[in-house]
Every structure is written in C-alpha cells, then in structure tokens.
Amino acid sequence: MKAFLILEDGTVFTGTSIGSTRDMISEIVFNTSMTGYLEVLTDPSYAGQAVTMTYPLIGNYGITPDMESKKAWPDGYIVRELSRMPSNFRSQGTIQEFLENQDIPGIAGIDTRALTKLLRVKGTMNGMITTNEDYDIDEVITRLKAYIVGDVVSEVSCNEPFVLEGNGPKVALMDFGAKNNIARSLSRRGCKVTVYPAHTSAEDIIKADPDGIMLSNGPGDPKTCVSIIQEIKKLYNSDIPIFAICLGHQLMALANGAKTYKLKYGHRGGNHPVKDLSSNRVYISSQNHGYAVDASTMDPSIAKEAFINVNDGTNEGLSYEGKNIFTVQFHPEACPGPQDSGYLFDRFMDMMKGAR
C-alpha cells in the first residue's frame, strides 16, 4: 500500500506503508544510530515525535527483549529499507509486526538521506504520514503548522511509585520518561530504587529519606514543565545528592535560573562525542534531545560547565558548586562505547556514600 510523508514546507515523499495505516501528525526527527532501533522505538523520550532512521536497513535482527519500556512511544517510524527476514537467534518477531501491534504508522522506501539533509538545512519540521492518496495538501499543511507536542511528560510517566529491591543506597528515581536501563544501572550497583511519578512533590521525596535522587530523561520542551521545575528547586535545596540525565539535566538548570533553547535539528544517535572538562577525555555517547541548556546563562557561582559536545560545542553537563549535584545531557545508561560513561553512575554512588 502506498504511503506519503508530507512536511509542513510542502515537501512530499512517496513510499510504502508499514505498521498502522491510520493518519499521523507529529514532529519529524532523525536518529543516526546504526543499531539499537528497538531501544529507539521504546524510548519514552520520543513521545510526540516521528523518527527517521538514517541507517538504510532497519529490522535485520528482528524484535528482541532489549526494550527500554513496556511499549513503543514514537508517533511514527520512517525508514529507507525494512528487513523482511530478520536473522537472530534472539528474535521474537519482525519489526513490521511490532509496528502493527503497537499501532504505529510508518513509511518505508523513501530517500531518508534527502529527508535528513532537508531537516538539517531547514530544521525540525512537523509532518504527516498518510495512506490517503486524495489528501488536500493545503489542508494538511494548515494542520501541520497548528500541531504542538503538548504535555508528553505526564503521558509517559508511571502512575504509581514502585520499588526495585536492593541492599545498598536508597535512590528516588523521578520518572519523566525514564528508560529501563537507568533503574537497571542503579540496581546492578546494589541500590534500592523507588521510581516516582513525574508530578510527585518534593516533600514526599524528601520524607522518604533517600540517599540520592535521580532525575530521568524524558520528552518535550523542558520549559513547559513549570510545576516540576518548582519541585526540583526544592530538591536542590535539600542537600540530598542528585544525578540528572537529559531532560532532568535541563530541568535542574531551569530551576536554578539558566535558560534552555531548541536546537535546529537536535542530537539523536549513538555516536555523539562529548568531552569531560575535568579530565579532557572524550567519550562516545548516546543522545536523544531537541533542546539544550545555554551554559552562558547559568550563574557560575551556582554551577559550572562539566561536559561539552565536541561536534558543536553545546553544553552536555553541569557540576553544581557546593552541592552533591551533577547533571549530563547525554545517556550514560546506554551502551554506545559500550561502557564509556558508566563511570558516572559510580560517581553518583560515591557521592551518596560520602554524603552519609
């Protein structure tokens, strides 16, 4: 069945429908990972977005147990070529079956290189995937220009607290769209991890007397999380050790007076080099974000820049002065290196031990 990807600038790509055949409108982004398509599909940070995979062949190892959440989150999926015959002893099905079961519309057979170049030149755009050959381009563009992502953090967060048992430090993990491997990385180090919904009050977290607090990744524009930012400021004042990743990093910066801004086309992939300014070592990182912290707007008496992106010089982390708090924009729980930045979890463990 034919499918069409229509962008808000009027560009139309024609391909083949994969997954659900319902119409979809979303923000179109691209990911440069060569593997890990299942982790991309199940990363809650992609809520409110449709993902273009720049690697040309997707699905060759099928669907495996390597999921970052219980379901898929992107609004849509865009690929050059979809493997029809996965080869992997761990495979539990095909990616096309997965997309159908998850009700995710997709399109295959388009020139994803041309699409990616267009997004790099013009910036991220809204788009529609449709199987309707009689679409009205003017009506579609009007709808695309009116689309906004909305409150996706509330959509992806857990509804009730739950606990991953351990005999070590107690960690409160704020779920703004947390990938499973964040909790696993803490559990492997012996932590007892309590996962809390995004809108849990700071008072409830502090009352539980955790040894440390983890602020997770998540989707959307950080500036829209007004009430969450107010609670994070209270957590900052509590003197409990805090480690924050991705959206959590941005929210902590906003809570302390810094500003964030939207990147032209974001950082999404498993091959982004970041430099640790304390050691001058460069690590290959996994990233998924469309917004960044403007480090120049942070009061240097509150926090200093700790990591930068080697490609474009954008901020990748902050270290807070006089506090047991550090934050990173990238994903140390992911494995692009494969264990390059896992030491940050060890740093968090040492912080918690030192605070006690």
- Tell me which residues are annotated as active site: 246, 331, 333
Task: Please tell me whether 290 is known to bind a ligand.
Answer: yes
Asked whether residue 286 is marked as a ligand-binding residue, the answer is no
- 118 known ligand binder: no
**Could you tell me which residues come within 8 angstroms of residue 22 by beta carbon, excluding any fewer than 6 positions away?**
103, 105
Tokens of 206: 């502090």
Residue ranges of alpha helices (H) inside 208-306 are 226-236, 247-255
How many CB atoms neighbour CB 1 within 10 A? 8
Residue 135 marked as a ligand binder: no
Of 80, 92, 88, nearest to 56 by C-alpha is: 80
Cβ-proximal residues to 319 (8 Å cutoff; 6+ apart), any chain:
278, 303, 304, 305, 306, 325, 326
218 has binding-site annotation: yes
Strand partners, 17: 107
Nearest to 19 by CA among 85, 70, 75, 66: 75
Within the chain, where are the H helices?
37-41, 95-101, 112-122, 137-146, 152-156, 180-187, 202-207, 226-236, 247-255, 343-355
Residue with tokens 């865009």: 78
* Residue appearing with tokens 């003197």: 239
For 97, list phi and psi in degrees, rounded to 5. Answer: -65, -40
**Does 270 show up as a binding residue in the annotation?**
no
Any known ligand binding at 247? yes
**61 in a labelled binding site:** no
- The amino acid sitting at 100 is E
Binding-site residues, in ranges, read 45, 218, 220, 247, 250, 288, 290-291
Binding-site residues for L-glutamine, in ranges, read 45, 218, 220, 247, 250, 288, 290-291
